[in-house]
Amino acid sequence: MLQVKDFNALISCCNQNGGLYHLKRQKGMNTLQIILDIECRGIARYGKGFVVASNEEGIILLDESLNVVNFSHAGKGLDLHGIAISGDFAYLAETKLNCIGIYDLSNGLNRVDEICFSSVNVNPKVDHVAHVKVDHPLVTSNMFL
């Protein structure tokens, strides 16, 4: 029989009762604690803490104890999905714009650049950018066409 070791997991959920959850397994017992009571679309490690993407709230920085240390409404309403970190930059899948927005995490969480697949003005059918991964110099993404 497979023995599952103790672990910690962060789970982002965007549906009803969404949020950021901490799942902890210790000595065979599981506990689930809600960290953020907002819909969360993605989470990525940044330094010792984390970056959370929320379509309702924008970008949220957490410290290693999962406390909110900074947030920005940048990206709010852009149908944010996956998130990846490279250096001090967050790459967020912005489904509403058919883009990956690039945000500076060290300087006000501002949107500083973008990688767009098609213009929503030219192609009103949203490509649904859902995931992003950065492995410099390569950026990969998946979407529903």
Assigned token pair, 43: 């989470």
Report residue 125: phi and psi, to 5°. -75, 110
Q: Is 3 a domain residue?
A: no
Q: Which residues contact 80 (CB under 8 A, 6 or more apart)?
A: 41, 42, 53, 54, 55, 92, 93, 94, 95
Q: What is the pLDDT of residue 1?
A: 56
Q: Is 128 a domain residue?
A: yes
Q: What is the pLDDT of residue 70?
A: 93
Q: Is 19 a domain residue?
A: no
Q: What is the pLDDT of residue 18?
A: 83
Nearest CA-CA partner of 52 in 77, 75, 86: 75
In whole angstroms, give the CA distance from residue 34 to residue 73: 21
Q: What is the pTM of this model?
A: 0.84
In DSSP notation, 24-51 reads EEETTEEEEEEEE-S---EEEEETTEEE
Q: What is the pLDDT of residue 144?
A: 62
What three-state secondary structure class fits 145? coil
Q: Is 16 a domain residue?
A: no
Domain residues for the domain of 54 are 41-143
Count how many domains the chain has. Answer: 1
Q: What is the pLDDT of residue 64?
A: 95
Q: Is 51 a domain residue?
A: yes
We report the CATH number of the domain holding residue 132 as 2.130.10.10
Q: What is the pLDDT of residue 119?
A: 66
Q: Is 139 a domain residue?
A: yes
Q: Is 67 a domain residue?
A: yes
Full pLDDT tens readout for the chain, 145 residues: 567 788 899 988 887 778 999 999 998 899 999 999 998 888 999 999 999 998 888 899 999 999 999 998 887 778 888 899 999 999 998 888 888 999 999 988 999 999 888 765 666 566 677 767 787 777 767 666 6
